Structure 1
Amino acid sequence: MTPLPQVRTPPAALGAAGLLPQIACVTLALVEPETRVAAAVVGGGYAALILSFLGGMWWMQALLRSDERWWPYLLAVAPSLIGWATLLAIIVGVAPPAAGLMALALTLLASPLGDREIGPLLREVPAWRQLRLTLSGGLGALTLVLALLSGRG
């Protein structure tokens, strides 16, 4: 039996480093309350960027499988569109930053469900699945904290 691949140090370390921008936004919002709106907008932008990255991962998995169905590609573009629509709503004033961040946080927290539908890699390799859950859960939780802080004015 072939052993399952393990997550190597570079993806684990760099994945963890990907949480640093959101940690910085949360820290700024805690230390300098007058910057909460700015921290929320910057943190929201980062969350939307990561959602686009995740959608790209799903898109590539569907392409590598030569998937001819339409729904994997639809699911793959959904995170980018959710991120864009949320940021637009915040910027034009249709939604307060706290509500937009909440939507982004919930999308990040739900995103591992898409992994189950799109590709076998994260479903079949426990080490990769754990890294994916940790990073999406961490970013989703940090974005949720930022939403709560930005709602405090």
Structure 2
Amino acid sequence: MHRAAPPAALILGGAGLIPFLGLSALVILGQSLLGLAPRPLLAAYGAVIASFLGGLRWGAAAASPEGRGVDYAVSVVPSLVAWAALFAPAPWDLRALGALVLAWGLVDQDLPRRGLVPAWLGRLRLVLSGVAGLALLAAGFLGAA
């Protein structure tokens, strides 16, 4: 396993934060994006990324010789919570998604400890989930409902 994060993971991970930061800023400033309301775009992006995070655990479970059933069960939680958050009224949609993304960065820290993913991925996930979660929460608390 890699000792340092591959450049592609850093570049693509960082690029994945652009919609969180940009759309959150637009929500907070009350601006549109090419005539589109940024709040539903941000919520949809947050839900998609939350589902992606669950997929990471599913993939780690599938690659593990143990293939623990609890990992498969836990892996579907972000998708289900994110889907429900899309039906929540503003500002709870973004607040729920922000809390989910932040929390999932911590939940998945058992994966590198158990040797299911490289250590660099755990560190990268903390940073990416931290920035994305805080951007969602900022938009949920500071943006117009």
Please give the TM-score of this superposition, normalised by the length of structure 2: 0.84
Read off the aligned partner of 1:78 and give its amino acid letter.
Answer: V
2:126 aligned with 1:128: no
Whether the aligned pair in 1 keeps the contact of 2:109 and 2:122 (CA below 8 Å) is: no
Alignment of 1:57-68 (within 5 A): 57-68=56-67
Shift of 1:84: 0.8
Whether the aligned pair in 1 keeps the contact of 2:43 and 2:97 (CA below 8 Å) is: yes
Shift of 1:67: 3.5
The residue that corresponds to 1:104 in the other structure is: 97
The residue that corresponds to 1:92 in the other structure is: none
RMSD: 2.5
Read off the aligned partner of 2:122 and give its amino acid letter.
Answer: R
Alignment of 1:25-104 (within 5 A): 25-31=23-29, 33=30, 35=32, 38-87=37-86, 89=87, 95-104=88-97
Structure with greater helix share of residues:
1
Q: In the TM superposition, what whole-angstrom CA distance separates every residue of 1:22-59 from its partner, at most 9, and x where no partner exists?
A: 1221232244x264993221111111111111101100
Give the Cα separation in 2 of the matches to 1:68 and 1:16. 30
| Stretch moving more, 18-27 or 55-64 | 18-27
Give the Cα separation in 1 of the matches to 2:31 and 2:97. 22
Shift of 1:122: 7.0
Whether the aligned pair in 1 keeps the contact of 2:14 and 2:128 (CA below 8 Å) is: yes
Give the Cα separation in 1 of the matches to 2:116 and 2:102. 16
Q: Against the structure 1 CA distance between its residues 128 and 149, is the aligned structure 2 distance closer, same or farther, given a 3 Å change threshold? A: same
Q: In the TM superposition, what whole-angstrom CA distance separates every residue of 1:46-85 from its partner, at most 9, and x where no partner exists?
A: 1111111110110010011143542211100000111111
Q: Which has the larger radius of gyration?
A: 1
Give the Cα separation in 2 of the matches to 1:71 and 1:122. 14
Give the Cα separation in 1 of the matches to 2:76 and 2:18. 25
2:109 aligned with 1:116: yes
Give the Cα separation in 2 of the matches to 1:4 and 1:28. 37
Give the Cα separation in 2 of the matches to 1:68 and 1:29. 41
